[in-house]
Amino acid sequence: MELFYRKLGEGPPVIIVHGLYGASDNWLSIGKALSDRYTLYMVDQRNHGQSPHSAIHDYPSMRDDLIEFMDRHELPRAIFIGHSMGGKTVMFLAEAFPERIETLIVIDIAPTPYDPDEQSSQARTHERIINVMMDVDFSRVSNREDVEHQLARSIDSPRVRSFLMKNVSRCAENGFQWKLNLPVLQKALPHVLGGLDAGKYSGGEEIAGFPVLFIRGEKSDYITDDDIRVIRQIFPMARVTTIPGAGHWLHVEQPALLVKTIRYFL
């Protein structure tokens, strides 16, 4: 699949991979801050942003999309920065194609699954958000504010609503629609909440050969202390650091500290 992307700067290649409901433009400010030393490629993953839609939405497919992207742009290796679902995508890439990784930076996501059957807080949050988005009645929408008004009935956070509203676009006859392929994402959510098989790494196997940094938000529960033990089981050379005052969307809540952390590590 040929992914849409945005490119900034000059220098060693850095590929930024957004999370669920995100897109490349969510990362423009971070990309601009790093573009003085690096060439930034900010991609839209399948079923997001301006990239093509597909009935298949799983990590092997998203991983292979990135390999195809690297091959098309003649990038034998790259620094990868992945947030949330994008972090899982780049972990799957590191597992299958470690030779293509120069440095791996994973932002606020663990390699472990978030089990919908156990009703983890992450699973509940994403199920609620997708259901609310699916319930928006665009026949009753004449402007973008109407969409936000419908979201506000179930989503209290203005920040989350603003983030989701970036996925609203105009369509035929001056109407509005979601850019996301929401029906596929809703169906694929159990796969999106999945992760690496930690059991594969209990007998001395490991993913290594490049520097690894996990960054978590102080107010987020996506990387717990138990997750850190699994991270170091799979990625034994990994460092883990915490951004104070940030939840799951670190690039929105603490962008300057996030850039400083990434710069220091690189």
pTM: 0.95
C-alpha to C-alpha distance for 103 and 212, rounded to whole angstroms: 6
- Looking at the predicted structure, is the pLDDT value of residue 255 above 80? yes
Calculate the average pLDDT of the chain: 94
pLDDT in tens, 55-108: 999 999 999 999 999 999 999 999 999 999 999 999 999 999 999 999 999 999
DSSP H/E element including 169: strand 168-170
Q: Which tens digit of pLDDT belongs to each residue from 177-235?
A: 999 999 999 999 999 999 999 889 988 889 999 999 999 999 999 999 999 999 999 99
Give, for 78, the enclosing helix (H) or strand (E): strand 78-83
Q: Could you tell me the domains of the chain?
A: 5-112+195-265 (3.40.50.1820), 117-190 (no CATH)
pLDDT of residue 73: 98
Report d(CA 116, CA 177) in Å as an integer. 28
Mean pLDDT of 14-36: 96
What are the pLDDT digits (tens) for 116-133? 665 578 888 889 999 999
Contact 31, 5 (CB under 8 A): no
Q: Across the beta sheet with 78-83, what order do the strands follow?
A: 5-8, 39-43, 13-17, 78-83, 101-107, 212-217, 239-243
